[in-house]
Structure 1
Amino acid sequence: MIKVYGMKISGNCYKVQLICELLKIEYEWIETDGRKNETKSPSFLLKNPNGRVPIIELENGNILRESNAILYYLAEGSIYFGKDKWEEAQILEWMFFEQYSHEPYIATNRWIIRFLNQKDEKKERIAENHTKGLHALQIMENHLAKNFWFACNRFTIADLALFAYTHKADQGDYNLSEFPSIRNWISRIQSIADFAPMED
């Protein structure tokens, strides 16, 4: 059984939880709350010197860090992975987009507003993030207006990676009513067999 060190309210950690549920991978969840500096403890830093969750610890003691790398590792060979090199590249394209052009703005505003309660103190950063987050959402909306899924014409870990923070974007003051194709995509994912909702 693998060990998952994560924080339930984190979208990046939720990615790992959801792929485990979808693939029926047995796992032990070890709640590790960054707000309580649990990711900065000496014992945790030995597992991840970067002081972040999620990480997974395999039965052989190997440790894998970074949410999308974990998704890639756990999903390999499943229906949520690419069938060939081209499909794998399509999936990775959107997963890199999620981490570089999406998560830094949408997830960060959610964190500042909902969990740090610093909407006034950090209004300038929120405003800057908001513009960039809207740009990412518009790219997603344009794609989903013509496609049901982000890669390979089926639900893959590319969708899972983008879903985690997108479906909670309203908590960062993004109005998803302006993005009907994204909302339909969210509903499609939530109707998938063995879907597990995010706790927050």
Structure 2
Amino acid sequence: MTIKIYGDIYSGNCYKIKLAAAQLQIPHDWVSINILNNETQTDSFLQKNPNGKVPLLELADGTCLSESNAILHYLAEGSSLLPEERLYHAQVLQWLFFEQYSHEPYIATARYIVRYLRRPAEHEERLQQKMTPGYHALDVMEQHLKQHQFFVAERYTIADIGLYAYTHVAHEGGFDLNAYPAIRAWLQRVEQQTGYLSMQAFDQQS
């Protein structure tokens, strides 16, 4: 039985899992979930993930794993995308934690308000509150990428996949990347990796 991945391909948290699975050549069934239709709140889905969120990985025996970066870590274990060296492994986790605590809450949320909710007036104040901390996260990334080709060990890892997912669509939330040449060069390097496919390409496949 093939593993299943439940998600919305245009969600960065879901896309990162789809991209990693593709680059690792992991056979899987993609189960498209419409988050705006509350498909993560059905009884059947909540039995799989009581937190009611995607992405969700379902293994062949029915065991489920949630949280995007935990899934990334699980899929990449033993591969070139997750270093075995103790320090490098910890640095991958460091950047994945940064992504979820200092990056995703601002850049992803701003994009959600603009792309998914169509920027309603009642969310404008909330949107503006995301901009300063979002730009701070981009500043941190820019400083690191001025000195490094990738985030860990000078090679492509799931740290790059995790941060790429929402950074490459940050403009959809109103963030301007023109002042971030190191980030823009890094985005191009990610897109040159073997097996890379865009959100749109994955959507066309499904």
Cα distance in 2 for partners of 1:120, 1:61 equals 42
1:106 and 2:107 correspond: yes
Q: 1:35-85 CA deviation, whole Å, 9 max, x = no partner? A: 001000000000000000000101111110000000000001111001222
Q: 1:108-145 CA deviation, whole Å, 9 max, x = no partner? A: 00000111012532121111100000000000000001
Call closer, same or farther: CA 1:178–1:119 in 2, change over 3 Å.
farther
Q: How does 1:20-59 map to 2 (within 5 A)?
A: 20-59=21-60
Which residue type is aligned with residue 102 of structure 1?
A: H
CA contact (8 A) 1:72 1:157 kept: yes
2:160 maps to which residue? 159
Moved segments of 4+, more than 3 Å: none
- The secondary structure found in structure 2 opposite 1:178 is coil
1:3 and 2:4 correspond: yes
TM-score (norm 1): 0.98
Cα distance in 1 for partners of 2:43, 2:173 equals 32
Which residue type is aligned with residue 149 of structure 2?
A: F
Q: RMSD of the TM alignment (CA)? A: 0.9
1:142 maps to which residue? 143
CA contact (8 A) 1:141 1:182 kept: yes
Which residue type is aligned with residue 74 of structure 1?
A: L
**Identity fraction in percent:** 49
Which residue type is aligned with residue 190 of structure 2?
A: I
1:173 maps to which residue? 174
- TM-fit CA distance, 1:9: 1.1
Which residue type is aligned with residue 152 of structure 1?
A: A
CA contact (8 A) 1:13 1:54 kept: yes
Which residue type is aligned with residue 142 of structure 1?
A: Q
Cα distance in 1 for partners of 2:121, 2:110 equals 12
1:71 maps to which residue? 72
Q: How does 1:73-88 map to 2 (within 5 A)?
A: 73-88=74-89
Call closer, same or farther: CA 1:174–1:80 in 2, change over 3 Å.
same
Cα distance in 2 for partners of 1:131, 1:124 equals 13
Cα distance in 1 for partners of 2:183, 2:44 equals 40
Which residue type is aligned with residue 118 of structure 1?
A: R
Q: Count matched residues.
A: 200
